């Protein structure tokens, strides 16, 4: 019975359930870096985590072996295994042949707090796990892309919010088209980050919010209480177009909205809707990430988010976010 719980029918150790060998595991610098990046972005696969720690240790197999220990071994100074493997990734028929995705546990949170690396404002938008994973891959890919360009610096969400003394949630008044009344609804972006551009000895800044859609968000709804593309665009018309973000986040640099969806048709519909709304500026950027479609599959890193153009409303030209 025990063997069935911890091994599959081919007597291989199961990937979805930890099996301790009573090995003592103490978090090292690379482990803490992994915990920190999961905390800042969300659940990440072994490919992403190794990319973040490549400057510490380049051997990918050893990184995967260490991640396996952090998942399986519960004999730690913080009372349990440091990493979990979210069960949602094992719902596909070929899960054994995909990258493993990791998330924090109580033990890794305790380790981060002990080393003063925990920030309450790093916590992102709640929601379905697959949505959280998509958002994590977007922001982590952009941060990783800055590693290849010495003129770019990634500014994480917690730095922006702590400097402003703010939370990610912000009440925004906007007009409800069916009723003609102004209603106040909380705007909660999926993520927030900034980029510092260094050019000719000077620094320039731009900030971004992320809105990720796996094809589950409607364009319009019967009630304004439910999030939709229409409500989102109307809220951003006020928040960005009228400069509310400057008071909220204490920023003087521009803010852009990165809309990522899973196919070209959905993106075209979103752009048409945005363009139909009067007063909509060119701060809305769009692109697709087809790997986050109907069927889950761990994503590889996406440098194209940084070095390939985004479509935008209000302009016939595309936009590169790696350019100041």
Please give the structure tokens belonging to residue 296.
């889950």
Query: Same domain for 34 and 95?
Result: yes
For the ranges 87-101, 107-121, 160-174, the lowest mean pLDDT is seen at 87-101
Assign 296 a pLDDT band (cuts: 50, 70, 90). confident
Least confident piece of the model among 68-72, 104-108, 277-281:
277-281
Using the Cα atoms of residue 124, residue 267, residue 264 and residue 315 in order, give the sign of their dihedral.
negative
- Take residue 131 and report the two structure tokens written for it: 């949505």
Domain count, the chain: 2
- Distances in whole angstroms, Cα of residue 149 to Cα of each of 37, 194, 306: 19, 15, 11
Looking at the structure, do residues 130 and 279 belong to the same domain, yes or no? yes
State which of 91, 114, 137 marks the end of a domain.
Answer: 114
- Pick from 114, 131, 164: which residue ends a domain? 114
Asked if the structure places residue 321 within a domain, the reply is: no
What's the pLDDT score for residue 91? 77
Q: Quick one: which of 241, 85, 265 has its CA closest to 172?
A: 241
202 and 287, same structural domain?
A: yes
CA distance linking residue 95 with residue 261, whole number of Å:
23
Same domain, 238 and 183: yes
Closest CA to 216 of 156, 113, 292: 292
Mark whether 107 and 141 lie in a shared domain.
no
CATH code of residue 41: 1.10.10
Q: Alpha-carbon torsion 12, 18, 22, 28, what sign?
A: positive
Q: Are 149 and 174 found together in one domain?
A: yes
Same-domain pairing of 63 and 105: yes
Residues in contact with 117: Cβ distance below 8 Å, sequence separation at least 6, in sequence order = 32, 35, 36, 39
Could you say which of 64, 84, 114 is where a domain stops? 114
* Residue 72 shares a structural domain with residue 186: no
- Residue 88, domain extent: 2-114
Q: How far apart are CA 36 and CA 53, in angstroms?
A: 11
In three-state secondary structure terms, 313 is coil
In this prediction the pTM is 0.92
* Same-domain check for residues 14 and 163: no
């Amino acid at each position: 019975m025990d063997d069935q719980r911890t091994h599959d029918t081919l007597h291989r150790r199961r990937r979805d359930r930890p099996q301790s060998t009573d090995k003592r595991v103490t978090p090292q610098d690379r482990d803490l870096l992994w915990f920190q990046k999961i905390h800042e972005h969300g659940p990440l696969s072994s490919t992403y985590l190794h990319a973040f720690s490549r400057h510490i240790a380049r051997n990918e197999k050893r990184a995967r072996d260490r991640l396996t220990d952090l998942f399986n071994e519960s004999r730690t100074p913080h009372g349990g295994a440091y990493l979990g493997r979210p069960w949602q990734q094992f719902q596909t028929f070929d899960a054994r042949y995909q990258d493993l995705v990791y998330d924090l546990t109580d033990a890794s949170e305790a380790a981060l707090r002990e080393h003063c690396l925990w920030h309450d404002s790093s916590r992102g938008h709640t929601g379905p796990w697959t949505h959280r994973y998509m958002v994590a891959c977007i922001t982590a890919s952009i941060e990783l892309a800055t590693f290849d360009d010495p003129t770019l610096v990634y500014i994480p969400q917690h730095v922006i919010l702590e400097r402003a003394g703010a939370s990610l949630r912000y009440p925004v008044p906007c007009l409800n088209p069916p009723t003609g009344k102004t209603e106040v609804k909380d705007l909660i972006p999926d993520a927030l980050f900034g980029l510092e551009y260094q050019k000719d000895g000077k620094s320039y800044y731009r900030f971004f919010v992320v809105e990720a859609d796996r094809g589950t968000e409607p364009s319009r709804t019967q009630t304004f209480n439910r999030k939709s593309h229409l409500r989102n665009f109307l809220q951003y018309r006020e928040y960005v177009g009228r400069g509310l973000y400057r008071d909220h986040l204490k920023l003087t640099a521009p803010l852009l909205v990165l809309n990522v969806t899973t196919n070209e048709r959905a993106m075209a519909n979103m752009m048409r809707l945005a363009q139909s709304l009067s007063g909509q500026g060119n701060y809305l950027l769009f692109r697709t990430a087809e790997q986050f479609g109907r069927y889950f599959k761990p994503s590889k890193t996406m440098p194209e988010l940084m070095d390939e153009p985004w479509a935008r409303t209000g302009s016939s030209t595309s936009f590169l976010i790696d350019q100041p």
